[in-house]
Amino acid sequence: MDTPAVVLLSGGLDSTTVIAMAREQGFTPYALSFKYGQRHLIELEAATRAAETFGAARHVVADIDLRIFGGSALTADIDVPKHSRAEEVSNPTEVPVTYVPARNTIFLSYALAYAETVGATDIFLGVNAMDYSGYPDCRPEYIEAFERMANLATKIGVEGQGIKIHTPLLKLTKAEIIRAGTELGVDYSITSSCYDPDSAGRPCGHCDSCLLRLKGFEDAGLIDPLQYQDA
Amino acid sequence: MDTPAVVLLSGGLDSTTVIAMAREQGFTPYALSFKYGQRHLIELEAATRAAETFGAARHVVADIDLRIFGGSALTADIDVPKHSRAEEVSNPTEVPVTYVPARNTIFLSYALAYAETVGATDIFLGVNAMDYSGYPDCRPEYIEAFERMANLATKIGVEGQGIKIHTPLLKLTKAEIIRAGTELGVDYSITSSCYDPDSAGRPCGHCDSCLLRLKGFEDAGLIDPLQYQDA
């Protein structure tokens, strides 16, 4: 249990499942979250709880204000798109308006700096098949290219140990993620997924993220423990 | 003059030469500087002056605190190494203690977000041959790997235009950089290079960066217009 691994932890369903998986694989998690001008700060509280639950040695919250560049529904004043059914969400031929420019690249770059600092060669990221339907920086070829670049960028890379980007959710459906996490003891009542929660932190139930989550629970034959706004 | 390009601008000799080159090549510079817990904030003032001088359409200063991770002379409480001669500086077999983990990767990631936001496909970075003697993230193979990753990471990459990372100083000596900049009208009295300036902003004359700069001016047959602490 003393091999360090940096785990990108938003506090959402996916990353909370990932920190449980990293722990299960014998890593000591060094959790990393971001305040990046997102509207849904409730996620950070969920991240803190998940870091505690899964034995993180440290939890660093990096404050990066991507609003200096503008350009996304998650950070600027564009309306978050709402739907009534999950089937309306994904269109793999288009990049969603909720896309944040270079977000995963910035997140992984920070994870790389953190990894070098604590002497870790393993980085865990919760990208998955549902997400990469539209986001270019969630595709396997992107992750491979980042890993290759990371090995040229760093002391650890130069000195030959090698950085590994783990993406254990990459080919799992939402239902498979939820089943795997449930088996590892993830309490999904502590995870937040909504792009547009109300002031009490209750998820909207109609943004892309909520709909994919609800469909995941339904497909897994499980009940989502969250209280939705209109429930 | 209406093709936008993001220019990473520290305010040092190299990046100030680069913004002059970007302008000369017909780009409209979108300058990007960082406050990253460095001791030498004087550089930011130099960057602001350089952005104004070379017609930047915008100058964004991103506040990123890499001290949350620790680990470098430029951001933590390690002594900046001092020497008396430039020949003592570079040892290509070792990574210098002034190395900041994943620094260029973080800087380029922000540049990528900025580029996507303003619709630029060109990014200028002032890495050069003297620097990459010890820093892994200043080598040509690193820059190529970053560019490849960037093209997989972004809307612009997915939609086929392609991101280009320009490194016009890569194979130039310090003397060649200074000669090129002087021809383009760079006023090197506005550039700061020192890792450890005094409170009046005067360079120390003995850190790696000062020694390489002084040797560059000497080799170019020019006089460094800066006032050094012990001059």
Domains and CATH numbers, chain B: 3-220 (3.40.50.620)
Is B222 at the interface with chain A, CB within 8 A? no
Is A52 at the interface with chain B, CB within 8 A? no
- How far, in Å, CA of A16 to CA of A69, rounded? 28
Q: At A191, phi and psi to the nearest 5? A: -100, 145
Is B78 at the interface with chain A, CB within 8 A? no
Q: Strand order in A58-63's β-sheet?
A: A58-63, A27-35, A3-8, A122-124, A164-166
Is B67 at the interface with chain A, CB within 8 A? no
The CA radius of gyration of chain B, in Å to the nearest whole number, is: 17
Q: What does the pLDDT read at residue B91?
A: 44
Q: What does the pLDDT read at residue A81?
A: 58
On chain A, the residues whose CB falls within 8 A of the CB of B112 are 101-102, 105
pLDDT tier for residue B122 given thresholds of 50, 70 and 90: very high
Counting DSSP H helices and E strands in chain B, the numbers are 7, 5
- How far, in Å, CA of A35 to CA of A40, rounded? 10
Q: What does the pLDDT read at residue A73?
A: 42
Q: What does the pLDDT read at residue B187?
A: 92
Q: What does the pLDDT read at residue B77?
A: 47
In 3D space, the residue among B144, B142, B112, B138 whose CA is nearest the CA of residue B126 turns out to be B138
Which of A100, A116, A152 lies nearest to residue B101, judging by beta carbons? A116
Q: What does the pLDDT read at residue B64?
A: 84
Q: Which residue has the tokens 């254990």?
A: A168
- Check whether B118 has a pLDDT greater than 60: yes
Tokens coding B65: 């605190």
3-state SS record for chain A:
CCEEEEEECCCCHHHHHHHHHHHHCCEEEEEEEEECCCCCCHHHHHHHHHHHHCCCCEEEEEECCHHHCCCCCCCCCCCCCECCCHHHCCCCCCCCCCCCCCHHHHHHHHHHHHHHHHCCCEEECCCCCCHHHCCHHHCHHHHHHHHHHHHHHCHHHHCCCCCEEECCCCCCCHHHHHHHHHHCCCCHHHCCCCCCCCCCCCCCCCEHHHHHHHHHHHHHCCCCCCCCCCC
Is A78 at the interface with chain B, CB within 8 A? no
Which of B114, B117, B153 lies nearest to residue A142, judging by beta carbons? B153
B58: closest chain A residue by CA = A69
On chain A, the residues whose CB falls within 8 A of the CB of B116 are 69, 71, 101-102
On chain A, the residues whose CB falls within 8 A of the CB of B142 are 149, 152-153
Which of residues B133 and B187 earns the better pLDDT score?
B187
Which of left, alpha, beta for A162 (phi over 0: left; psi -120 to 50: alpha)? left
Which of B106, B136, B153 lies nearest to residue A137, judging by beta carbons? B153
Cβ contact (<8 Å) for B106 and A109?
A: yes
Q: DSSP label at B207?
A: B
* Helical (H) or strand (E) element with B165: strand B164-166
Is B166 at the interface with chain A, CB within 8 A? no
Cβ contact (<8 Å) for A136 and B114?
A: no
Q: What does the pLDDT read at residue A88?
A: 52
Question: CB of A152 within 8 A of CB of B139?
Answer: yes
Q: What is the pTM of this model?
A: 0.86
Is A35 at the interface with chain B, CB within 8 A? no
The number of residues in chain B equals: 231
Residue stretches of chain A with pLDDT short of 50: 73-78, 90-93
Helix axes B174-183, B13-24, angle to 10 degrees: 50
Question: CB of B204 within 8 A of CB of B196?
Answer: yes
Question: CB of B145 within 8 A of CB of B165?
Answer: no
pLDDT tier for residue B202 given thresholds of 50, 70 and 90: confident
In 3D space, the residue among B218, B229, B231, B227 whose CA is nearest the CA of residue B191 turns out to be B227
Number of Cβ within 10 Å of residue B227's Cβ equals 12
Number of Cβ within 10 Å of residue A3's Cβ equals 13
Determine the distance in angstroms separating the CA of B226 from the nearest CA of chain A, rounded to an integer: 32
Q: Please, which residues 113-132 of chain B have a Cβ atom closer than 8 Å to chain A? A: 113-114, 116-118
- How far, in Å, CA of A171 to CA of A151, rounded? 24
- What sign for the dihedral angle of Cα A174, A219, A22, A167? negative
Tokens coding A181: 């996490």
Q: What does the pLDDT read at residue A38?
A: 63
On chain A, the residues whose CB falls within 8 A of the CB of B149 are 105, 142, 145-146, 148-149
Tokens coding A185: 């003891």
Instruction: Looking at mean pLDDT, say which of A169-178, A203-212, B121-130, B205-214 comes out highest.
Output: A169-178
Q: What does the pLDDT read at residue A176?
A: 96
